[in-house]
Amino acid sequence: MSHFSKTQYDSFSTSYDSINDIPIGRIMVPNVERLVKPYIKNARVLELACGTGFHTQHLLDWGAASLVGVDVSQAMLEGAEAELRKQPAHEGKYRLMVQDCSAPFTVTDDNGDSLEGKFDLVFAAWLLNYAPDLATMTEMFKNISKHLKSAGRFITILPHPEVDPMICVDNVNAQHRQGYGYRIEVRERLPEEGYLVHLYFDTVDPVVDFGNYYLPMTVHERAARDGGMKGKLTWEEAKVPEDHDKLNSYMKEPIEKGYLDEWSKYPDFGILVVEKE
């Protein structure tokens, strides 16, 4: 059972992009690019938890032939639509739909025909951390699996993976004291060795805060298998580009050399890649 409203983002959808604009938000982009680039050209992409379209635009820029973006928040999708309309080159290449990714659903084409088994790539940033337990996360993976081609793969950004998620919480809070990003407040210990948490991004104005679940990496691995993803499963580390000029090309505003040195010792996010077969 969810401990917070699934539409909690409706109330701050207009300010959510400020999170993506901070350096530890922008550093997601080169990491996603590194992992999707081999598969994105002319691909049919399903993006879950697409939010305001921050990653959507990049996926299209990198060569996706078409993209369906899914999010539980209508307000977030309206923000995504507004941003995507600013890119004429993407016109006709994307569709957005409101859907709870933890409940069974089927994407259809414009004629109403099912697109199950038709996607080359499913991508999600910060989706699995909205599953309070193994059962819910397994349902997410079932949606992922059934929409992928047999040779397809799922790539997702999620909290830094740990067998004990409290290690991640402690490290992120230590980095917050050094001036990075956000702090995490633990609200409740969950039955499956995870935690109900609340994130506070007080380095942006206005402050943005919302609830999440941090579950063990072993729960993610089991959910993937139980949800139908039977292929290679890989945990990828977040990396900072060595070339400083290249790094700054991903930033909203230039950062000084060494700014991310402490963060890079324990990135607040990891990346999970799972092949369907």
Give percent of the chain above pLDDT 90.
88
pLDDT at 202: 82
* Average pLDDT value for the chain: 94
Q: What is the dihedral of CA 62, 67, 69, 75, to 10 degrees?
A: 80
Rounded to the nearest 5 percent, the helix, strand and coil shares of the chain are 35, 25, 40
> Is residue 220 within 8 Å of residue 154, measured between CB atoms?
no
pLDDT at 5: 61
Q: Which helix (H) or strand (E) holds 95?
A: strand 94-98
User: pLDDT, tens digit, for every residue of 168-227?
Assistant: 999 999 999 999 989 999 999 999 899 999 999 987 778 889 999 999 999 999 999 999
Domain ranges of the chain: 8-161+216-275
| CA 190/CA 75 separation, integer angstroms | 30
Q: How many CA atoms are closer than 13 Å to the CA of 69, on its beta-carbon side?
A: 27
Q: How much is the pTM?
A: 0.95
User: pLDDT, tens digit, for every residue of 227-261?
Assistant: 999 999 999 999 999 999 999 999 999 999 999 99
pLDDT at 14: 61
Cα distances (angstroms) measured from residue 217 to each of 24, 48, 91, 210: 22, 20, 38, 21
- Beta-bridged to residue 200, according to DSSP, are 183, 209
| CA 45/CA 64 separation, integer angstroms | 7
Give the contacts of 85 (CB within 8 A, at least 6 positions apart).
Answer: 91
pLDDT at 204: 76
CATH class of 8-161+216-275: alpha beta
Alpha helices for the chain (secondary structure H): 17-21, 23-26, 28-40, 54-61, 74-84, 134-147, 165-177, 217-226, 244-249, 261-265
